A and B are shown apart, each in its own frame.
Chain A
């Protein structure tokens, strides 16, 4: 291949007569010995001074640049956003949010960093101008010096043009080859040394997300029947405190076993299959306990400790609440517990810790007492705090398997010790919560608010239930309310079906058999209300102190007083006591019913009662 300038004639020696040929004479070609005017003594002297000036300017520029670079390196440690010192103080503040000394130190340090930042900016501007001046002097003097040192270029005799071209081509080929080899090796090294946890295909992605039938996630989600057959959270699978298939004859032989509880707590037992779970603890140690539901043996106990972010110094806790007030929950594979200091943990059924995280120390007048709620794959935490608490009240959802937070919703509420329940209404799974001043409903899927009713007053302790398509909620200062669940937005004026104002409980939660609602006050005032219109059907004074919420087993209403009086009544439209038994213990926790057994947590022992099991009539 040739270029377009191919020419068969020898070049250069014949101009074709278009101009006069004036060969260069020897006289016109400067000899090697001639002294160029640029090399005169004065020129040499000037060159020297220019060169020295250029060097001084270069050193000056290097010094200025070096100092500015040094300041940049130091700046990383004093970044107001990422300073390790500041981050450590902020972590400390999270653990102890009321520590004024830490707040003061954070403010002081933050201000100091910002002031340093501004000073550094000003220094950079000054340094920049100095650099400009230095570089300008450098360029000018260097260019002048180069000009004075410039020697005229002289053509050279090239004896072997072809040889030089071949040599050049060969060298160029080798250099390109070397570049190619280096590039290839570098890229190959980079490629082979890189790893990635990202799935390589759609199938692997589905497996990671648990969409396949063999996925761990799918295998770990119990079905609805399993949920309903057990007692997986506070007051049962729906939080209503009722079960339909049991009937208990209560007498002295009803107690199957009782087992000492190793640690104190007010939370109620939960049951799944042949396991009973409770939690307990104090300022030193918090634990989850697992008992055998058949024989009452303590199978294992797991301490919940060293949770990342959990404060080293235990917060102040009210004795009336204790460290383990919220009732646990289980999804049939893991048992979940939350403690008053904000530690949330999941324990596998074999006693090993699945995951644990710290939600922060809640700011709550009596201490956090809202129990956990569980739905397939989701663990719900009602995080209501005092009005002035930082961060405010929230509703949180976590993945049961991994503990990662699925969603979080702020709530315009405060001051609640009631527990959330999950119910299905209007075609949606709803999370119902009570707090000041609202009864609220959130969608289980993403936590978005569905409706709210401004009806709550007082210290919100009783938890809600659902019955007959209504949410039955206790507003301690105002009454017992029935609200329809098919609303949207603010339903205060549109969806309150009825309201009852007498015999309103202050601690215990109501229970319903689908026709009537039963409540019991702390002083033992038992009342029955019609579910349809809220009218009181009957009322009876038991003259007992009652802190545990009542339960319904079939047609039996079961109550346990603080001093251990276990009473069975007819769950109907007339007051009729069917049996009574005395248990030597102190009871604050609500009963759990599962598989023909009644589980009660006393201050000292965990009790299991059973009777001749009969089918519901």
Chain B
């Protein structure tokens, strides 16, 4: 990209005219929001004298001040999170032979309401794209996130969501009897289509998981870049794991082990409650831990956004490499300009390394597939039919008297009514697991191999810009750029620094 040309981006937004002295007004608002304790008066005083604060710092202060109130609101209703109780067992009516009425299934949600969900999704995606690329408004994305958290999170209880939708799709592909609902297809496809053109706008302000984590971020700790690269592989592996289970009809582990959904539903198994608490605590210090290191749908969005037509850019104009945005991203997505010249002595070794890694790729895939094929036995035990069949066979080898009925012995008795069907079904499932695990192992090898190869590629970058795949388009970095402040009228153009220190050497 030439410096003399305007970057290929969303059409440039017009500067927003503000009242005279708007900077002081903004600072007083930020003080009022950071309330109520001993620090209030001092915070007011300090904020009033915060002329020496850089715009990015002031932005961070304002964001953190606002974050506390929504977090409090959420936590006020999170008391039910602690109530993770097993279902209340019915009394034992052995003596009176009272027949407990059978459980009933509630009626499915009205179809119109399901389409309403899809409509809200489309609308939110459009609004997010507008806020990211047109308005370049962090505040807009913030409140959109609040709405998404309330609607898709606490109102819709986190289901249906785009994160779990790939499992429905894969099950529909492998199970002819399963019809994937149109709404699920919409939830799966819409954010991906948007990512292909406008980046991860879904993550910016539509995904309730991301919105919740955004609100909890208090003191971001920078994750070392080398560790971030390693952990960045995990979402792809988790995606493969989830699709493996879904394809065999065993279940939806991405949904089952989602640590944030129990917060939306205010209940859940003990393990998930513990994971939710851990995620919340972690989210106070590590920006969006679930999104960055576990979200399987994020892995797909990362791939889709690599080809985005409209990229998220920190500066609305030219990058002067003032470095003021270098520390503005709490999610480790900011990338710095690379060296203008590559030392020739490193060219040959780099190329050799890349060549070896590319040759290693099929070996990794084959090795992963082999290990995956061996996983069929332990992994298939998670399928209830396989587990029941194994328990039945063991029980035949050492017969036991049932005694008092427990849920386990009841299921075993049911298996004994037709053991042939149970055993045959379990054997067939084991075969399916073999194939699915083989593919999963190969996929894991592929992911690791491609990651290693990508780390050996030389990238040339002239501007400070967010990584296309890793950027959540949250707009936190915009206000750190002096060019943005000029655009919105918070700073005269004459004060834009050229280069604070030399960067490229």
Contacts and interface: CB of A to CB of B under 8 A. Distances in A.
Interface of A: 1-7, 9-16, 18-24, 29-30, 36-38, 40, 42-43, 45-47, 49-50, 53, 65, 68, 72, 79-82, 87, 90-91, 94, 103, 110, 117, 121, 124-125, 127-129, 131-132, 135-136, 139-148, 150, 152-153, 155-162, 165-166, 168-169, 171-180, 183-184, 187-188, 190-202, 205, 208-209, 308-309, 355, 357-358, 390, 402-407
A125 B84 CA distance: 10
B462 A7 contact: yes
A153 B277 CA distance: 31
B396 A404 contact: yes
B173 interface: no
Interface residues of B, number: 140
B81 A128 contact: yes
Contact of B37 (A22, A53, A136, A152): A53
A27 to B, nearest CB: 12
Interface string B317-352: 011111110110000000011111111001000000
Nearest to A110: B91
Interface of B: 1-4, 34, 36-39, 42-43, 45-46, 49-50, 52-54, 56-57, 60-61, 64-65, 67-68, 71-72, 75-76, 78-86, 88-89, 91-92, 94-95, 216, 218-219, 225-227, 229-231, 233, 237, 270, 277, 284, 318-324, 326-327, 336-343, 346, 364, 367-368, 371-372, 374-375, 377-378, 380-381, 386, 389-390, 393-394, 396-397, 399-401, 403-404, 406-407, 413, 416-417, 419-420, 423-424, 426-427, 430, 441, 444, 448, 451-452, 455-463, 465, 493-505
A87 B407 CA distance: 13
Contacts of A184: 367-368, 371
A21 B79 contact: no
B41 to A, nearest CB: 8
Given A128-B79, A202-B427, A168 B225 contact: yes
Given A153-B56, A198-B390, 9 more contacts: A11-B463, A20-B493, A42-B42, A139-B72, A147-B34, A150-B60, A162-B343, A173-B456, A183-B237
A171 B378 contact: no
Contacts of A50: 37-39
Contacts of A46: 38-39, 42-43
A10 B378 contact: no
A136 B76 contact: yes
Contacts, number: 347
A103 B501 CA distance: 85
Nearest to A111: B91
Contacts of A148: 39, 42-43, 46
Contacts of A165: 338-339
A465 to B, nearest CB: 31
Nearest to A24: B497
Instruction: Give the interface centre of A46, A172, A175 by most chain B CB atoms within 10 Å.
Output: A172
A97 to B, nearest CB: 9
B226 A175 contact: yes
Nearest to A167: B226
Contacts of A152: 52-54, 57
B449 to A, nearest CB: 9
A162 B86 CA distance: 57
A113 to B, nearest CB: 10
A180 B448 contact: yes
Contacts of B461: 3, 5
Contact of A2 (B68, B372, B458): B458
Contacts of B231: 179
B455 A169 contact: yes
A19 B496 contact: yes
Contact of A1 (B39, B91, B92, B457): B457
Contact of B57 (A145, A153, A172, A406): A153
Contact of B430 (A173, A200, A209): A200
